[in-house]
Amino acid sequence: MSHSLGAADRQNPPDQTKHTVILDCCGGLNNVDYSEMDLTFLGGLRNYVDPHNSSFVLAVIAIIFNPLFWNLVARWEHHTRGLSRLFGSPYLACYCLGFVIILLNLYRSHSMTVAMKTQTRWTVLEGTEIFYAGVALMVFGTLLVVSSFLALGFTGTFLGDYFGILMDEKVTGFPFNITENPMYWGSTANYLGLALM
């Protein structure tokens, strides 16, 4: 049975209401109207962060460079075994890369500390409760980092798997029973705590 529109229906078509487009996970941000965004927070942030300060720039470079460097070197080693051949042993090569990573992390921490000291301090962060929140974050972060290192060992921590140095089994004890990435979460808590302090 077919239905056709009557004369009255053709003269008065059904209500054409606009439907809101729902963003889906695969549609990206193409449907976002950026002119509707409230960016006043970023304007206020400029009062506290001087991106032209040389110590700030060095800290940003160190933050970006460090993981880029060690991931590129580790992937290169995995594909070529170049460091293992150079040092004559995958263990010695891993220990040397680990030592370089430690030095780079010390420099990154130092450059971040210098950069934070040269920036304007937000008065909201002056309270003692903020200071102690920073201390608590650093204690928690250090607990995660140190316990991760103890559970993984030096070669497990410093990319030994890229050198062909594998652990006998997956580590599932503390702190890996809390989160899969305790070293990253611990480092993040340490840097946030340092910033609050």
Annotated binding site: 139-141
Dihedral (Cα; 104, 93, 90, 147), 10-degree rounding: -30
Q: Of 149, 169, 165, whose CA–CA distance to 157 is shortest?
A: 149
SS3 of residue 168 by DSSP: coil
* Residue partners of 34: CB distance under 8 A and separation at least 6: none
Cα separation, 98 vs 86, whole angstroms: 15
Q: Which residues line the annotated binding site for S-adenosyl-L-methionine?
A: 139-141
Which residue type is seen at 71?
Answer: N
Which residue type is seen at 181?
Answer: N
CA 163 to chain centre: 24
Q: Is-contact 175 147, C-beta < 8 A?
A: yes
